[in-house]
Every structure is written in structure tokens, then in C-alpha cells.
Homo-oligomer: A and B are copies of this chain.
Amino acid sequence: MNGKLYLIPSPLGEYAPSEVLPAPVLDIISSLGCFVVEEVRTARRFLSAAGLRGRVGELEFHTLNEHTSPQEVEAMAGLFEGRDVGLISEAGLPAVADPGAALAALCHRIGVEVVPLVGPSSLMLALMASGLDGQSFAFRGYLPAKTEERRAAIRELEKQSKALHQSQIVIETPYRNDALFADFLKYLQNGTRLCVAADLTLPTAFVRTMEAGLWRKAPVTIGKRPCVFIVLS
């Protein structure tokens, strides 16, 4: 009898899991003994704070990150024999923009039920708060880092947004936030709306949407905070 795969969201910052996870999700976490995680150290800390303190030493951990081969993922099929397994990413929703999707895909192939649990999604929190159109949107991941390619990518983003009336969501490595923001102000047309959403779910959260022309007159410093950018032309 196969167990299930629970997709367990985790906090977007240094605070208690109970701040952003519903009570039944905390109960499910406490009932599990086997976890597939991006990094064991972070996962231990999260699980300890989520109610497993004192039991963390007995838990079974398997690593699934960008270094895990397809064969190693395949071998995880054995984990589900007779028990449920939890999947945890570094922050936010597992299996969205992280290597965990390969495990969920395996489960579909071998007939293991996949159960997604409710928790914080920085992308959706940013989109809700942006006031931009949520009727149609795309998540693009990271833009290229090199100047020429990035300029082309920003122009393309703006063009696609206009053609499809589609909000374009982009993320960046925190230490490059301000460089990306500067590039948006440099290359976006005056009337294009840009949302900057940093530190979501944290007391220091910042969300502001303005036209690029107005941002240019009143830019901000984002710093090395987790940040989501949304463009709508």
C-alpha cells in the first residue's frame, strides 16, 4: 500500500511556521516521519519550529536539489512503501520553480497521490497586492544578467505584456534587486506599470505599484530583501 506525497509550504522569512500555515497543515507535518528536502539543515530548523522539536533526530531526510540526478529521483519511488512523505522547499511552495517538481511528476507516473497544502506563495501575494490584472499573468523566473540580453528581455516582456494584456512576474537574486530595478526604470516606457513587492509576509513588507515614469521621479532602494517584480504594459 503506497503512501501519499504531501507538498508542504514553508515560511518566506525568519518567523514561526504557524504565522503562515493553517492548523491542519501543521498537524499533517507533525504526523510525518520521512521528508524530501532541498537542504537538510534548513528543513530541520523549519520542522523543529513547526512542532517536531524533540523528534527531529528520528526523522528520515532525503535531499532533492539541483544536484540530484533523474536516477536518484526515480529511486525515491521506494520511499512511499507503507508511509506518507513530505516535500519541503527552501522557502514558500514546493514544486513551483524548484527541483521538487520532479518528485511530484514521479508520483503521477507511479500512482502515488499528491496532496498540495496551503501556504505562502510570494508570487501570488505580490500579484494580489499589486492591483495589476490577475485575469492573465505569466511567471518568467529570472531575467538574463548580461546587460544586452537583459535589455532585450525587458523590452520583450513589455511587448508580450501589451500584446496579451498579461502581467509579467519576475524574480531576482536578492543582491541584484536594485540593479534589476534600475534596469526596469531605464528601459520601460513611461506608462508601463511596475510593481515592487519585497519582504512579503514580514513586518517590513513593502508593496508599491506605479507607472515607470513616476518611479523614475521617486525611486526606492530595495536592498537584499526577497522581492517580486511585476510588469504590466
Contact = CB atoms under 8 A, between A and B. Distances in A.
| Most chain B beta carbons < 10 A, residue from A94, A105, A126, A129 | A129
Nearest to A106: B131
Summarize A's interface: helix, strand, loop or mixed. mixed
A97 B22 CA distance: 24
Contact of A124 (B121, B126, B134, B209): B121
Contacts of A166: 138
A125 B8 CA distance: 11
B98 A134 contact: yes
Contact of A97 (B123, B135, B140, B141): B135
Q: How many copies make up the complex? A: 2
Given A22-B18, A125-B118, A200-B116, A134 B95 contact: yes
A75 interface: no
Interface stretch (A43-51, A107-115, A181-189): A107-115
Contacts of A113: 207
Nearest to A123: B124
Contacts of A118: 20, 118-120, 125, 201
Interface of A: 7, 18-24, 93-98, 101-108, 113-116, 118-121, 123-141, 166, 200-201, 205, 207-210
